[in-house]
Amino acid sequence: MILEMKGISKFFGPVKALDDVNFTVGDAEIHGLLGENGAGKSTLMNILGGALQQNEGQIFIDGQLIEDMSIHKSNALGIKFIHQELNLVNDLAVFENLFLGQEIVNRAGLLDRKTMIARSKEVLEKIKVDIDPVEMVDNLEPSRKQLVEIARSFLFESKLIIMDEPTTALTNKEIDILFEIMRSLKAHGISIIFISHKMPELFAICDKYTVLRDGKFIESGYFKDINEQKATNLLVGRSIVDSQLVKEDVRGKVVMQVENLSCKGHFKDISFDLREGEVLAITGLHGDGRGELSEALFGARHVDTGTVTLNGKRLPLGHIRQIMKAGVGMVQRNRKERSIIKDMSILNNLSIAYFIAKHNRFFINKREEAERFNRNQKVTNIRVGNMDDEITSLSGGNQQKVMVSRWLELNSDIYILDNPTQGIDVGAKFEIYKLISELAHRGKSLIIFSSEFPEIYKIADRCLVMYEGHINAELNRDQLTEVNVMYYATGANKEGINGNKIKQPA
Ligand SMILES: Nc1ncnc2c1ncn2[C@@H]1O[C@H](COP(=O)(O)OP(=O)(O)OP(=O)(O)O)[C@@H](O)[C@H]1O
Ligand SMILES: [Mg+2]
């Protein structure tokens, strides 16, 4: 399919989300769409998918002008959209989600469950995803939900697939599988539009690129003709100097002590100290128990044994509100699943933690709330039209910044950040890293759960590497290399089946 979008503009009230954008995708091409948070990527794709109507401009498919694009029309043309926000119904089974809106009925007019389950099985197998079609979606991990969402686009014949940040919830292994599928789709003549903030991914899988900035078309070309630095400069519109943000030695007193924390099936005997002004990274691979540990520290998951003390006082584990009051804040991973309150405004989404932990009056002082908001907006640089709009009107990355700001308001002593830069563009990532080091400079202590080595390297004073639910290594600054992290994250120091250990990297 050859797609041409010409002179597309889109307004949301006073916000000009797209301004005269041209976008062309060729046959059997994987096309990377790049841009900062709020640049207009999802909006452009929503217009192509028929969920939004452009104010100006035209869409041509194989040379033919398509007027009044609707979701239905877009589907009928063979365009499939895998959305940035998961669009699955939790209360339905996997196969019901796959066929949602396009159910198969038998001659009696009843739903043909058997055929739908069989076809679901086929498609899941084809893309090498081991999920039972009758499983309830609610029971699936976010990464698996993402795979169901991807499977949906393979169920029906498509000619162009839009993938809006499909990899943010996936593990590296799942990303490899996805890329394999993408390559085979391309070999079958299908075109793919791929949106991601991760440069290595874009360079690995895409043929061409188009960069948007502030709703405007900036440049199109072949990835083979540019490098990561050039791509970054194009999308940010200036060159950013990437530097390390680590401070001198952290010699503050111990503020938090975790002792022998265990949670059956997830993690075991976790002990570590956290110092004042320290940035401690905790990393590992899928199945390392890291996510569950982060929840336990914040009181969102029950533990079987162990204690956590904060400034010598025991934390009431399992009680989020009291833990918040004691001075612990947390940015959870997978914001769309865990932390955003969809029908609430931007302002209320930001204020809710403050409200729960600090507020003791009956009335909300709207002016005070707005003042706090404005202060935060400056710090995290959230791009927003009106703070009373629904949170979902913000671009993905800006929503994430609201989630970070939620905890800044509380002025916590300890910040637990789980995958804090998910969906955040390169420029804004750097802003968040700076914010993290500033907080540390002010004597706050931070625990960053992350699987991105470049991020850990940039900000962490010390790093714990988890493997199968326990801490396999503690690395200080001079031991912090990617090879070292992988060595311990894969458990290579453990005795293998034949009793051999892999030699430790230098
Ligand atoms: N429904 C809406 N109502 C009001 N403004 C909106 C709406 N949808 C998008 N916008 C605004 O349009 C602009 C472009 O947003 P868009 O979601 O397209 O960005 P994006 O490039 O996908 O960013 P991200 O990388 O963060 O996902 C932003 O300023 C956003 O706030
Ligand atoms: Mg987006």
Q: Over 50: is that where the pLDDT of 119 sits?
A: yes
More confident residue, 326 or 366: 326
Q: Over 90: is that where the pLDDT of 303 sits?
A: yes
Q: Over 70: is that where the pLDDT of 245 sits?
A: no
Average pLDDT over residues 398-421: 87
Taking the alpha carbons at both ends of the chain, their separation in whole angstroms is 51
Average pLDDT over residues 161-179: 85
Q: Over 70: is that where the pLDDT of 266 sits?
A: yes
**Nearest atom in ligand 1 to 41's CA:** 21
Q: What angle do CA 207, 211, 213 make, to 5 degrees?
A: 170
Say what the alpha-carbon torsion angle 408, 332, 280, 296 is, to the nearest 10 degrees.
120
Tell me the CA distances in angstroms from 297 to 141, 162, 243, 307, 320, one per residue in order. 20, 38, 30, 10, 9
**Mutation test residue for ligand 1: of 5, 12, 36, the one with most atoms within 8 Å of CB:** 12
pLDDT digits (tens, 9 = 90+) for 429-483: 888 888 898 889 989 999 999 988 888 998 999 999 999 899 999 999 889 988 8
Q: Which is it for strands 191-195 and 208-213: parallel, antiparallel or unpaired?
A: unpaired
Name the closest-CA residue to atom 19, ligand 1. Answer: 38
Q: How far is the CA of 436 from the centre of ligand 1 (A)?
A: 25
User: CB of 163 within 8 A of CB of 195?
Assistant: yes
Q: Over 70: is that where the pLDDT of 348 sits?
A: yes
Average pLDDT over residues 327-344: 80
**Mutation test residue for ligand 1: of 11, 15, 388, 431, the one with most atoms within 8 Å of CB:** 15
Q: Which ligand is nearest to the CA of 428?
A: 1
**Mutation test residue for ligand 1: of 54, 342, 384, 395, the one with most atoms within 8 Å of CB:** 395
As a whole-number percent, the residues of the chain with pLDDT over 90 amount to: 46
**Nearest atom in ligand 1 to 400's CA:** 26
Q: Which ligand is nearest to the CA of 52?
A: 1
Predicted TM-score of the model (pTM): 0.75
Q: Over 70: is that where the pLDDT of 498 sits?
A: no
pLDDT digits (tens, 9 = 90+) for 200-217: 899 999 999 999 998 999
Which of 174-178, 274-278, 416-420 has the weakest average pLDDT? 174-178
Q: How confident is the model at residue 496 (pLDDT cuts 50, 70, 90)?
A: low
User: CB of 286 within 8 A of CB of 327?
Assistant: no
Q: How confident is the model at residue 293 (pLDDT cuts 50, 70, 90)?
A: very high
Name the closest-CA residue to atom 6, ligand 1. Answer: 393
196-212 per-residue burial string, b: 16 or more CB within 10 A, e: under 16: bbebebbbebbbbbbbb
Q: How far is the CA of 420 from the centre of ligand 2 (A)?
A: 17
- Ligand 1: lining residues by beta carbon, under 6 Å: 12, 15, 17, 35, 37-43, 84, 383, 393-398, 425
Determine the pLDDT at residue 505.
58
More confident residue, 429 or 162: 162
CA 8 – CA 53 distance, rounded (Å) = 10
Q: How confident is the model at residue 501 (pLDDT cuts 50, 70, 90)?
A: low
Structural domains of the chain in order of their starting residue, each with its CATH number: 3-236 (3.40.50.300), 259-489 (3.40.50.300)
Residue 361: CB atoms within 10 Å: 6
Residue holding tokens 């209360």?
Answer: 91
Q: How far is the CA of 290 from the centre of ligand 2 (A)?
A: 27
Closest CA to 345 of 373, 325, 317: 373
Sheet holding 470-476, edge to edge: 328-331, 414-418, 445-449, 279-284, 462-467, 470-476
More confident residue, 241 or 473: 473
Q: Over 70: is that where the pLDDT of 122 sits?
A: yes
Determine the pLDDT at residue 244.
61
Name the closest-CA residue to atom 17, ligand 1. Answer: 395
Neighbours of ion ligand 2 (CB under 5 A): 42, 84, 395-396
Mean pLDDT of the chain: 87
Q: Over 70: is that where the pLDDT of 196 sits?
A: yes
Determine the pLDDT at residue 60.
98
Q: How far is the CA of 14 from the centre of ligand 1 (A)?
A: 13
Task: Name the 3-class secondary structure at 501.
Answer: coil
Determine the pLDDT at residue 497.
47
Determine the pLDDT at residue 74.
94
Determine the pLDDT at residue 147.
83
Tell me the CA distances in angstroms from 175 to 169, 171, 178, 389, 418, one per residue in order. 9, 6, 5, 34, 20
Q: How far is the CA of 257 from the centre of ligand 1 (A)?
A: 42
Q: How confident is the model at residue 23 (pLDDT cuts 50, 70, 90)?
A: very high
